[in-house]
Amino acid sequence: MEGKRRELQELEAQSQHADLWNDPEKARQVMQRLTALREEVQGWETLGQRLRDTRELAELHDPDLEEELEAEVAAIEQELRRRELQTLLSGPYDRHPALLSIHAGAGGTDAHDWAEMLLRMYLRWAEKRGFETEILDYQPGEEAGIKSVTVAVNGPYAYGHLKAEKGVHRLVRISPFDASRRRHTSFALVEVLPQVEEDVDVTIHPNELRIETFRASSAGGQHVQKNATAVRITHIPTGIVVQCQNERSLTQNKKNALRVLKARLLERKRQEQAKKMAELKGAYQKAEWGNQIRSYVLHPYQMVKDHRTGYEVGNAQAVLDGDLDGFIEAFLRHKTMEKAPS
């Protein structure tokens, strides 16, 4: 905390400089960091004061205060748990908003339906968390559900939480699309990327882009409008392709597509660096499609289990309604234990 207080003093001094706003981008970053740090420091100080006040009241041994004290202790424990979890979000991009993409995998129409169920789950989770969401691209399935979707999840620490969801998600259920009512297994891939700021070391040269426009289609298969407003951008050196079609404006769709492209290029760069480090350690393993991180079983019993952490719950419907915090917390604690020195 002493280090954070010193940084807070330095940032407050910077914010008073008359020439700060000569560089608007730098000024915005300083003010964002200042606001977040001030909230963190003041939050811990307030919690400490609440704890001291509660201890003093407890030392009075007044029976009339017992119920009030129990309620305050429970509230302090809940706030402490929330702040403890936040300390696990210390990655370089954990504070950033996120880009969440869902792609239907093996399983045909069931997989398309499963991808849409996951979209509903994440939108509900984000709403409960107070995050704002914006669908940037939506590609419907032929018969039901979706082929893929990309959603911007905006709010502090959105990426830090959602990074726990990266990977293949498996659904086991009685298929509503099978007349024989047989059990089916479906897969969907969830990708999570941080939305990166302008200062991140990812350079996109216009001559390296192939930009195509086409007519946007809604989930019902109808054209949103007659003009070509949807955008598909190919980054020629890497072959990465992104598209956005959910806005009615060609300019806005292009802006959103570039935002997604930048996030994908950053993730590619991070993966290459991680691969080099892992190869030096002799432990690199390529991540292959089909290695599910989590299974959602709706038949013959109900259970959702994360295969990385072993965390599981029996109320699958609650999870599909957005109750993901237990899985996210278990993942963050698991990653912290992996990094801890033996």
pLDDT digits (tens, 9 = 90+) for 133-170: 999 989 998 889 999 999 999 988 899 999 999 999 99
Q: Of 35-44, 75-84, 122-131, 228-237, where does the model show the most confidence?
A: 122-131
Q: Which amino acid, 56? A: E
User: Residue 200 — pLDDT band, cuts 50, 70, 90?
Assistant: low
- What CATH number matches the domain at 206-281, 3.30.160.20, 1.10.3720.10, 3.30.565.10, 3.90.1580.10? 3.30.160.20
Report, at the CATH architecture level, how domain 2-87 is classified.
Up-down Bundle (1.20)
Give, in order, the Cα–Cα distances in Å from 134 to each of 67, 97, 130, 131, 149.
Answer: 44, 12, 13, 10, 11
CB of 243 closer than 8 Å to CB of 217: no
- What CATH number matches the domain at 98-195+291-339, 3.30.70.980, 3.40.1640.10, 1.10.760.10, 3.30.70.1660? 3.30.70.1660
pLDDT tops 90 at residue 123 = yes
Q: Under the phi-then-psi rule, with left for phi > 0, alpha for psi from -120 to 50, and beta for the rest, what region is 232?
A: beta
- Three-state DSSP class for residue 166: coil
Reading the block at residue 167, the tokens are: 């990977």
User: Residue 116 — pLDDT band, cuts 50, 70, 90?
Assistant: very high
pLDDT, the chain, mean: 86
- Strand ranges in the chain using DSSP code E only, listed in sequence order: 98-104, 132-140, 146-154, 167-174, 183-194, 209-214, 230-235, 240-244, 292-297, 303-306, 312-313
Instruction: Enumerate the CATH 1.20.58.410 domain ranges in the chain, comma separated.
Output: 2-87
pLDDT tops 50 at residue 342 = no
Instruction: Enumerate the CATH 3.30.160.20 domain ranges in the chain, comma separated.
Output: 206-281
Q: In the chain, count H helices and then E strands.
A: 8, 11
User: What CA–CA distance (Å, rounded) separates 282 from 279?
Assistant: 5
User: What CA–CA distance (Å, rounded) separates 69 from 241?
Assistant: 57
Instruction: Enumerate the CATH 3.30.70.1660 domain ranges in the chain, comma separated.
Output: 98-195+291-339
Average pLDDT, stretch 47-54? 94
In the prediction, which pLDDT does 1 show? Answer: 85
pTM for this prediction? 0.72
Model confidence over 202-226: pLDDT tens digits?
A: 778 889 999 998 877 654 444 345 5
Model confidence over 62-100: pLDDT tens digits?
A: 999 999 999 999 999 988 887 888 788 878 889 889 999
Of residues 101, 96, 163, the one with CA closest to residue 131: 96
CB of 97 closer than 8 Å to CB of 103: no
pLDDT tops 50 at residue 283 = no
Average pLDDT, stretch 38-63? 92
